[in-house]
């Protein structure tokens, strides 16, 4: 992995963990997803439209299809993630989702994109995924409210959507040459439109979320697109089998947030898992 790709992925990891902590603290839900999507669209529209005008870019039907597709997949991702956060701990749901995603994405990238990562890189990916699962899965924790089977199920389903959008968006930015910021902006716009019927039917709930969680709504609206734009930029010139596992360094940060800021249990075990993830990212960087 190049130095530039590693810097982009590490920056994305910090931003990603921060917005997930804020989303967990806010309590989530469809109203929250709709509100921060609205903020994202409003803030990033001027830049996206400027990029389109500057390049005199004409959208092809295939590009339009991929932009619509990423909106659908990301809508499913955000809604499943918020359901998971309502059912269980940040330090369980977040690592489980982020671990399942790169595992599936790496296997699919090798199978369908013909990627051939080095042995060291594959070992790094295995360390990342193994560290994540070590942090997230502890059999006796399954009886705890924070590790309710429903939370585990939502974590895994969220991971499936992560793998899906990683592969889909890799093709969009690397093969179809859709600018990363434009693709993410289109995703936010499409997701917000998809959730709008729900928001309009629950305006009282939307107003309550805005009143009580305005700071989190605005912060996530800014940080969520930024984290993924950084990842998409790395995907333009870096294989999925390198980027997908490496970006999960965010789990180290997310776990520390969960343990120390949200007072979630089992910090020592999850910190050991985080150290294994760091070793895996180093192997990816050298590979």
Which pLDDT does position 145 carry in this prediction?
45
DSSP letter at 257 equals I
Domains of the chain by residue range: 3-286
Return the closest-CA partner of residue 181 out of 236, 139, 136: 236
Assess whether pLDDT exceeds 90 at residue 81.
Answer: no
> Taking residues 71-76, what's their average pLDDT?
92
Which pLDDT does position 149 carry in this prediction?
72
Would you give the distance in Å from CA 146 to the centre of its chain? Answer: 21
**3-class secondary structure, 134:** helix
Q: What is the overall mean pLDDT for the chain?
A: 83
For residues 9-20, b (16+ Cβ closer than 10 Å) or e, as one string? bbebbebbbbbb
Calpha distance 265→247 (Å, rounded): 24
> Taking residues 151-177, what's their average pLDDT?
90
pLDDT in tens, 44-59: 999 999 888 877 677 8
Q: Is the dihedral of CA 265, 78, 249, 142 positive or negative?
A: positive
Would you give the distance in Å from CA 197 to the centre of its chain? Answer: 24
pLDDT in tens, 206-216: 999 999 999 99
Query: For 177, left (φ over 0), alpha (ψ -120 to 50), or beta?
Result: left
**3-class secondary structure, 221:** helix
Calpha distance 175→173 (Å, rounded): 6
Calpha distance 243→268 (Å, rounded): 27
pLDDT in tens, 236-283: 999 887 887 777 777 777 666 766 665 656 667 767 777 787 787 677
């Amino acid at each position: 992995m190049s130095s530039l790709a590693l810097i982009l992925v590490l920056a994305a990891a910090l931003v990603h963990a921060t917005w997930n902590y804020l989303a967990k603290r806010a309590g989530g839900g469809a109203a929250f997803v709709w509100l921060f999507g609205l903020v994202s669209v409003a803030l990033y529209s001027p830049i996206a439209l400027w990029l389109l005008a500057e390049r005199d870019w004409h959208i092809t039907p295939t590009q339009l299809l991929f932009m619509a597709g990423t909106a659908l997949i990301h809508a499913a991702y955000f809604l499943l993630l918020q359901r998971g956060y309502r059912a269980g701990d940040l330090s369980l749901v977040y690592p489980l989702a982020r671990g399942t995603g790169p595992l599936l994405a790496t296997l699919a990238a090798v199978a369908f994109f013909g990627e051939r990562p080095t042995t060291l890189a594959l070992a790094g990916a295995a360390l990342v995924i193994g560290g994540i699962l070590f942090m997230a899965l502890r059999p006796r924790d399954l009886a705890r409210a924070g590790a309710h089977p429903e939370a585990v199920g939502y974590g895994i389903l969220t991971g499936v959507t992560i793998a899906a959008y990683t592969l889909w968006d890799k093709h969009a930015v690397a093969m179809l040459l859709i600018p990363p910021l434009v693709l993410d902006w289109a995703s936010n716009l499409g997701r917000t439109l998809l959730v709008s019927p729900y928001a309009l039917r629950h305006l009282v709930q939307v107003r309550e979320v805005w009143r009580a969680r305005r700071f989190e709504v605005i912060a996530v609206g800014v940080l969520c697109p930024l984290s993924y734009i950084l990842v998409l930029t790395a995907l333009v010139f870096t294989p999925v089998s390198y980027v997908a596992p490496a970006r999960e360094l965010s789990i180290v940060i997310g776990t520390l947030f969960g343990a120390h800021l949200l007072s979630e249990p089992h910090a020592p075990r999850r910190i050991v898992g985080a150290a294994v993830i760091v070793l895996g990212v180093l192997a990816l960087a050298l590979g």
